[in-house]
Every structure is written in C-alpha cells, then in structure tokens.
Amino acid sequence: MIYAKVAGTGSALPKRVVSNEELAQTVDTSDEWIKQRTGIAQRYIAGEGETTSSLAVDAAKQAIDTAGLNASDIDLIIVATTTPDLVFPSTATIVQNELGCFGGPAFDVQAVCAGFVYAFATAEKFVKTGAAKNALVIGAETFTRILNWEDRTTCVLFGDGAGAVVLSASDEPGVLTTRLYADGRQKENLWVPSGVSTNYQAMQDGAAFVQMNGQEVFKFAVKALAQVVDDALEEAGMTAAEIDWLVPHQANIRIIQSTAKKLKMSMDNVVVTVDQHGNTSAASIPLALDTAVRDGRIQRGQTVLIEGIGGGFAWGGAIFRF
Ligand code: ACO
C-alpha cells in the first residue's frame, strides 16, 4: 500500500507587519476590539514586488529543502489560492517556472480558506495511486489586495503569506484520512461579488472586495468543523484522544477554541498563529503547521488533524501521521 507522507514543510511571510494599533490609525477600530473578537494582534501585508507566487516559491523552497529533495524531484504542484497572480496561467505554473522543475502537472485549487485542505486531499490521491511521487502542495495568498480598507468588519481580519508541504510516497502512514464538503447555497455569506465573467468592471476599477456576513460565517463554521472532526475520526477509526495536534484554519480564536473543545483537547495541543498572522485564507494551515514543526512542537510519529472552512461554503479536514 502506498501512503502519502508529509516529507517537509515551509512557509513565507511578507516583510511588512501591521499591528492592530497601526491599523486603528486609519480604520475606525481598536486593538482591544480586534483582539477580543478574533484573537488577532497583527498581520503581514504584502508590498510592492511581493506576490502570491513569490511567497509560494519561498515557502516551496523550504519545504523541498526540509524534505531532503531537489526541485527536480517534484512531479506535481498544486497551489491553493484565492488571489492568484494572474487570471491565467495558474499560479502553480508560475511557481513551477521559478523552481525549474518542468513537465509534471501543475494547477491551482480554489476553495478559499479551505483551499489548502482541498489541495492536500487532491495531492494525496495522486500519491496514493502512484500518479505522483513527490507532490508540492502550497497555500498562498495576497488576500489583503481584495480588502476594502474602509470596511472595518472585514479589513481587520486578514493577512498575507504562504505555506507549503511536500507529500511523498511512503510505505508507512502517512495521511490516514481526508474529508471534503461544500454547500453552494451559502455563496452570499462570504464572497467577492465580481469576477471575470460577472461585474468585471469592479475588477478593472480595483473595487472587487470581500464581503461577509460575519455572524452567519461564525455559526456555520463552528457546526461544520465539528462535523469534520467527527467524520474524520470515524473514517480513520480513531478517537479524539489519539490526536496529538490540532492545526486549524486560523480565522478566529473563538472558532478554534470551539473545535478544541469538541475534541476535548487542551489549547496547549492546538497550534495558534492567528494572533501573529491574522487570517491568511488558504495559507493559514500550512503556515501554522510549518511554525509548529520548526519550533519543535510537532514531532515525527505524532498525529495531526488539520481542518478549515471558507467561502462557498467549502470545508474539510485531514488526519495524518507526521
Ligand atoms: N472594530 C470595531 N468595531 C467593529 C469592528 C471593528 N473592526 N467590526 C465591527 N464592529 C462593530 C459593529 O459595527 C457592531 O457595532 P454595533 O453593535 O454598534 O452595530 C459591533 O462591532 C458588533 O459587531 P458584530 O458583527 O456583531 O461582531 P461579532 O461579535 O459578530 O464579531 C466577527 C465580528 C469578528 C467578524 C465575527 O462575527 C466572526 O469572527 N465571524 C467569523 C468570520 C470569519 O472568521 N471570517 C473569516 C473568513 S471565513 C473563515 O475563514 C472561516
């Protein structure tokens, strides 16, 4: 049996850090409000020359390096992003060009904040079926470029960054289960209501911004993520007590706490980066994973549950042995 194993991780952040206090100089908000409602203290914002693909490439190089591989060993690239460099070609092919590993498939996955889980689950199928040996899975965003900086209900929540993993074929586990879901009826609770074939003028005018019904997102997220946890554990034939680490999508500390409670897990075993990074959408899970691998919290042989939800709504999770 072939398993997909996380062979290496990496991450990258833009240079500029923006604290809540700095944001409060231009937006009608406060450090206290943001921290209390979301847990966010600061976020990184991409500047000129920093793009989704440049952050993705930096994260990818680290992941390939820590996997002990060369770029030429990579035979599949999937980039999860809501904020691609271009309409086309895909950010994955731009990353492939920068890495110089040509020929294998490279494509983007769009599931907003659930994008990394979707990309991870997709890459796992390639590896498990023998269609790829070393898959590079990246979550990368310059999400702050689709924020309306005059809308305090959204602009305080998000940040930019990238995280990456290499999933390699292995005869030992490995990814134990992946679960994906979507409910397209929820479109207008969290969306950018313009794109290439609808309301394109807003894109051209630089007015294609995130809109969100925060309370509906919150309620749905708590319920949906509880379902992910139940289903993933059942499918893996595991109990919550067997999970060493929860690495959740980093949207809001209160959503994270409710999933930890569902797992009866101490917050000491939950990787939290939302305070430092804000919500980096598809990048948040691999960024958090890499943070905890690098600082030595997550050790080889331990069991990790990742989960996330985003616009659509789309949501999902995975359990893997690191
Ligand atoms: N600063 C100060 N005041 C604010 C701000 C702000 N940035 N934003 C809203 N307010 C005000 C509102 O205007 C409102 O004022 P009012 O009572 O005078 O009308 C008050 O704060 C309360 O607003 P609510 O929307 O009720 O605040 P709530 O407690 O629901 O918190 C939040 C809002 C943080 C967005 C919350 O609903 C939430 O976290 N939802 C989940 C959304 C999320 O995480 N989205 C990320 C993308 S999806 C994902 O990744 C899962």
Q: Are residues 137 and 225 in the same domain?
A: no
How many whole angstroms separate alpha carbon 51 and alpha carbon 82? 12
Going from the C-alpha of 300 to that of each of 27, 293, 322, the distances in angstroms are 43, 9, 5
Helices (H), the chain: 20-23, 31-38, 52-66, 91-99, 115-128, 152-155, 200-204, 214-236, 253-262, 274-277, 284-294
The percentage of residues in the chain with a pLDDT greater than 90, rounded to a whole number, is 98
Whichever domain contains 129, its CATH number is 3.40.47.10
Q: Are residues 56 and 87 in the same domain?
A: yes
- The first and second tokens of residue 74, run together, are 């990579």
CB-ligand 1 contact for 155 (6 Å cutoff): no
**Domain extent at residue 102:** 3-171
Atom number of ligand 1 nearest to Cα 158 = 46
Residue type at 29? T
| pLDDT tier at 190, thresholds 50, 70, 90 | very high
Q: Are residues 249 and 183 in the same domain?
A: yes
Atom number of ligand 1 nearest to Cα 221 = 51
Q: Count the Cβ atoms, other than its own, within 10 Å of residue 224.
A: 22
Looking at 108, 140, 171, which one is the last position of a domain? 171
| pLDDT tier at 130, thresholds 50, 70, 90 | very high
How many whole angstroms separate alpha carbon 317 and alpha carbon 309? 9
Q: Are residues 167 and 246 in the same domain?
A: no
Give the mean pLDDT of 191-208: 94
How many whole angstroms separate alpha carbon 135 and alpha carbon 175? 13
Q: Are residues 111 and 203 in the same domain?
A: no
Is 249 catalytic? The answer is yes
Q: Whose CA is nearest to atom 46 of ligand 1?
A: 251
Q: Whose CA is nearest to atom 41 of ligand 1?
A: 218
pTM of the model: 0.97
Looking at 103, 136, 171, which one is the last position of a domain? 171
What tens digit of pLDDT does each residue of 150-173 get? 999 999 999 999 999 999 999 999
Q: Are residues 132 and 29 in the same domain?
A: yes
Atom number of ligand 1 nearest to Cα 112 = 50
pLDDT score at 206: 87
Ligand 1 centroid to Cα of residue 214, in Å, is 6
Ligand 1 centroid to Cα of residue 202, in Å, is 25
Ligand 1 centroid to Cα of residue 153, in Å, is 5
- The first and second tokens of residue 193, run together, are 């209501």
Ligand 1 centroid to Cα of residue 146, in Å, is 18
pLDDT at 148 > cutoff 90:
yes
Q: Whose CA is nearest to atom 31 of ligand 1?
A: 37
The percentage of residues in the chain with a pLDDT greater than 70, rounded to a whole number, is 100
What tens digit of pLDDT does each residue of 306-315 get? 999 999 999 9
pLDDT score at 202: 93
CB-ligand 1 contact for 305 (6 Å cutoff): no
Long-range contact list for 66-70, CB < 8 A, 24+ apart?
Answer: 66/7, 66/8, 66/9, 66/10, 66/293, 67/7, 67/8, 67/134, 67/166, 67/168, 68/7, 68/8, 69/7, 69/8, 69/134, 69/166, 69/168
Which residue is listed with tokens 């067997």? 242
Looking at 118, 152, 171, which one is the last position of a domain? 171
Q: Are residues 240 and 157 in the same domain?
A: no
Q: Are residues 89 and 185 in the same domain?
A: no
Q: Are residues 156 and 190 in the same domain?
A: no
CB-ligand 1 contact for 112 (6 Å cutoff): no
Which residue is listed with tokens 């905890």? 292
Q: Are residues 224 and 120 in the same domain?
A: no
CB-ligand 1 contact for 35 (6 Å cutoff): no
- The first and second tokens of residue 95, run together, are 């990353």
Is 277 catalytic? The answer is no
Q: Are residues 151 and 38 in the same domain?
A: yes
Residue type at 234? E
302 in helix, strand or coil?
Answer: coil
Which residue is listed with tokens 């990048």? 283
What tens digit of pLDDT does each residue of 78-103 get? 999 999 999 999 999 999 999 999 99
Give me the number of domains the chain comprises. Answer: 2
Of the residues 20, 158, 217, which should be mutated to test ligand 1's pocket, given the most ligand atoms within 8 Å of the CB?
A: 217
Q: Whose CA is nearest to atom 1 of ligand 1?
A: 29
Q: Do the Cβ atoms of 319 and 303 come closer than 8 Å?
A: yes
Q: Are residues 249 and 279 in the same domain?
A: yes
Pairing of strands 211-212, 76-80: unpaired
